[in-house]
Structure 1
Amino acid sequence: MSYIKVLHCTFCLKHGASGLSAKSVLFKTEVKNGTFSQHIARISTSQCWNNKALTTPIVKKGKNVPQDTRLWKEMPSLDRKNNVGQYCMMLSKFRLTSLVVMTSMAGYALAPAPFELTTFALCAAGTGLVSAAANSINQYHEVPFDAQMSRTKNRVLVKGLLEPVHAIGFAAATSTTGLSLLYFGVNPLTAALGAGNLILYTSVYTPMKRMSILNTWLGSVVGAIPPLMGWAGCTGSLDAGALVLGAILYSWQFPHFNALSWNLRPDYSRAGYRMMAVTDPALCRRVALRHTGIITGVCLASSYFEVTNMWFALESLPLNVYFMYLAWQFYKKSDSASSRKLFRFSLIHLPALMLLMLVNKKYWSSSDTQEQRDSSKAQDLNKLHDTKRITVLPRGPIVTAQESEAE
């Protein structure tokens, strides 16, 4: 038998333990069948690991710095008056509303009618206010589901920065103002399109998100109506050109949203949203690829419907082909990187396509349209051979002349 006098526990000192007793500790050792290590382990556990000093972190206190040892702290007060502008922008989903207003402005600018700045501004403002109202009502309905998603858990209603009554009041004020601007400042057709889109988004699309994957197709219709509002605001009617623009916006929604939802599948699954990326991932990729091809075809046919000239079909082709290539990569690889590339390029693709359509606009006013049609008809008549022309003379003067000669 032998005794070893240990003055310091080096194991505990290395791990930051403090407050150990300065008294000596005697370890009884037996060099027999390895019992030495067993005694050390048992004594170390009883003396060091059970010591309360190990569970207390070392805190270096500065001079005159009070330490807050409370287990709870007060929540910061909600200063709504000073942040009302920021909260309203969050309720309206400002970036999404800006995209909606941009497509409406593009529809107005591409319409073959004289450009009026006042009507253009009223149409853009009314469309933006109606979109803000729709987004506010959407957040009001989806508070319990937004709280379960990482992307939406910081919205103002989820965090309690605003009460639900504030969202309803904001939606009522913006929808009333926006529809009034569209009805009295633009025309009734534009106001009717805005009211219909508001009802479609809040009362049909929002609840359908948790019922069927058809919500994506319905949401694409919602996204295709704003350019029709701009077109109707300029011309007062809807024709083939407006449908071409609406078809481009309708098809653009699928690669844009399907690529976005691909990386949000855990969130959508947790909240119970029935998106293609969750319920049928293969369909999600196929639909995205299919609609990039439809966009290319519609752009090539836009000159046939007299929305743009032939140069637009050629200039937009590289842009659309690259869009199809990214959709093909997303279809084949089906990973986060390819979906992220497709989504980011979709944000560039739409403004670039609208700009090209504006540069290559065929008719700048309705009078130009009528004059060009009349000139084309005159050219067609001049091409006819003289023998194939039929001249119609008024009957009255000829009869009168014959009667005078007979007399």
Structure 2
Amino acid sequence: MNNINKILLPYFELTKPRIGLLVIVTAYLGYYLGLRSIDSHMLQANEWVILAHLMIGMFVSCSGACAFNQIFEASIDAKMDRTKKRPLPLKKISSLSAYIFAMCLFLISSAYLYLFVNSTVAILSCTTYITYLFIYTPLKRKTTLNTLVGAIPGALPPIGGWAAATGHISSPAWIIFGVLACWQIPHFLAIAIIYAEDYKKGGLKMLPSVYPKNKITSIYMIFFTVALTCMSLGLSFIKGNGIVFVVGSLILGLIFIYCSIKLILNNSLKNAKRVFYYSIAYLPILIILIIFS
């Protein structure tokens, strides 16, 4: 049994399951809101079946993308303290084995989503691969704008959820996309502040690494927390979100803005961690508000 675990564990680590969990949660959010937009309340058996297929397909798709990302960045990961113990830098598995594994996950997930959900979701899954692996990942070595670009593939899962529920992509789905895209910027910039030196060692062009004493990172964070608050209020236009949601999301947003302002006034590690931890709490609370309002 120990030998089996030793063989399988590196492949499991390649998939970054915590990111996969976030993907299926946000895909569920899009699915739920999509159904609510057409006056459905998940009372039919086939709606639950489609949701199950969506979550399985999305999780496998995300796992493949994460595995490919580690293949592409193996040399960078080897230089950074927070990533040097990943399977490829430690040579627990070969690059070829990792590539075959990642390709299998990509092909299986794409076919699965196409056959059991719909073609729109399958295309969105492939689009996520393209933007994440072939646009965002190379940009991390070239420009500090990579975080903005990376928010695009990270915000596509709820669009997929909406398309799975309705069969198409309509304007409210892009509000959900905007919420998730805006949330990612302060979240990942806070991480970039915390690990600024590590990113610098890896040769990644993150704002806090390139401009360590400049307030530009904090300005970005304030701008996108304000945008996030406005976008979340925009969700009230989707059928079913009333005054409880509006007040709750406004309070959540104002606290987020306050944390970002504290950071621009005092660009300390403590304040960066405050933004990071609050960003982790913000998203599940917002989702709970959406579902129960």
Provide TM-score, normalisation by structure 1.
0.67
Matched residue, 1:285: 218
Query: Does 1:89 find its partner at 2:15?
Result: no
Match among 44, 50, 74 for residue 119 of structure 1: 50
Instruction: Give the counterpart letter for 2:5 in structure 1.
Output: N
Match among 203, 228, 232 for residue 134 of structure 2: 203
Kindly provide the CA deviation profile for residues 76-112 of structure 1, in whole angstroms up to 9, marking residues without a partner as x: xxx7633344222210111112111211111111213
Q: Is the 8 A contact 1:241 1:307 kept in 2?
A: no
Match among 263, 280, 286 for residue 330 of structure 1: 263
Instruction: Give the counterpart letter for 2:269 in structure 1.
Output: S
Q: Is the 8 A contact 2:20 2:63 kept in 1?
A: yes
Please tell me the root mean square deviation across aligned C-alpha atoms, in Å: 1.4
Q: 1:321 to 1:148 in 2, by over 3 A?
A: same
Q: Is the 8 A contact 1:220 1:250 kept in 2?
A: yes
Matched residue, 2:32: 109
Structure 1 gaps of 5+ residues are 1-78, 361-407
Greater relative contact order, per chain length (Cα 8 Å cut-off, separation 6+): 2
Q: 1:201-350 alignment to 2 at 5 Å?
A: 201-280=132-211, 281-306=214-239, 308-350=241-283
Q: SS at 1:81's partner residue?
A: helix
Q: SS at 1:190's partner residue?
A: helix
Q: How many residues align?
A: 282
Moved more, 263-272 or 151-160: 263-272
Instruction: Give the counterpart letter for 2:50 in structure 1.
Output: T
Matched residue, 1:395: none
Displacement after TM superposition at 1:309 (Å): 2.3
Displacement after TM superposition at 1:146 (Å): 0.6
Measured in 2, the distance between the counterparts of 1:218 and 1:109 equals 26
Q: Is the 8 A contact 1:299 1:312 kept in 2?
A: no
Percent sequence identity over matched residues?
A: 29
Displacement after TM superposition at 1:242 (Å): 0.6
Match among 128, 136, 140 for residue 59 of structure 2: 128
Displacement after TM superposition at 1:216 (Å): 0.7
Displacement after TM superposition at 1:305 (Å): 4.8
Query: Does 1:352 find its partner at 2:275?
Result: no
Displacement after TM superposition at 1:181 (Å): 1.5
Higher Rg of the two aligned structures: 1
Measured in 1, the distance between the counterparts of 2:139 and 2:240 equals 34
Measured in 2, the distance between the counterparts of 1:298 and 1:160 equals 43
Structure 2 gaps of 5+ residues are none
Displacement after TM superposition at 1:156 (Å): 0.4
Provide runs of 4+ in structure 1 moved above 6 Å.
none
Q: SS at 2:237's partner residue?
A: coil
Matched residue, 1:73: none
